[in-house]
Structure 1
Amino acid sequence: MEDSGNKGLEQLLEKLKEYLNTRMKLGKLTLIEKGVYLFSNLITDGLVVIFLILAFLFTSLALGFYLSELLGNSFGGFFIMAIIYFIFALIIYLIKDKYLEKPIINGMIKKIFKNEEEE
C-alpha cells in the first residue's frame, strides 16, 4: 500500500517537473518572440525615420536656396530657415511635457503588449 503511495507521489513530482520545464520553455519563447518583434519594429521604424530625415533635409536645403534667391542674398534664406527651426524647437520644448511625452510612452507600451492583445 505504501509502495503505490510513493509511486503516486513520484508520478506527481515527475509531472510537476515536466510542467515547470514546459512553463520555463514557454516563457523563454514568449520573451524571444517579444524581443524579435521589438527589434524588427525598431529596424523598420528606424528606416522610416532615416528616410523622413533625408526628405526633411533636402526640402530644407531647397527652401533655403529658394529663399536665398528671392532675397538676393546667399545667406539670408538659410538664416530665415535657422530662425524657423529655432522657433519650432522652442515650441516643441514648451509643449513636450504635456502633449508629446505621454503619447510616445503610450505608443511604446501598446507596441510591447500588442501580441498579448491579439491573443
Structure 2
Amino acid sequence: MELPNGHLEIRPAMDRMRESVFGVLGDLSGLSFLDLFSGSGIIALEAASRGANPIACVERDRAKFPILLQNVAIAADQRIECKAQPVELFLLRNKAAFDVAFLDPPFPYAYRLDLLKAL
C-alpha cells in the first residue's frame, strides 16, 4: 500500500474500523460498491477482496488521486474504476445505483448532510 510523503492529507482507514465495517457487511459477492473520498483506496481494495463487483472510487483531491491509481494498479483489479472529481459532481452525473456506499469525508468537509441526501 502506497502512501504519499510530506504534506498530503491521506487518512488510511484504521485497521480496527475497517475490520468492524466489513465484519458487519460480510460477503460482498456480486454487490456493487461505491467508495467516496477514496484516498489511498484501501476500502475499495478490501471490498474487492470480499467479492464486490463493480467498484467505483471517487477522489476529489488531484494530489491524492495518483496514489489511489497506484494502489489499484498494484492490486491489478479490473473491477475497480477510479474517478478524479468532486463527489458531488459524480453523484449528480452518475445514474447507476450502488448496493453499498462508503463515505469517509475529510473532517472539515461542510456538506455531509447534503451528500447523504444525494445518495
Normalised TM-score (structure 2): 0.22
Query: Higher helix share goes to which structure?
Result: 1
Larger Rg: 1
Higher RCO (C-alpha under 8 Å, 6+ residues apart): 2
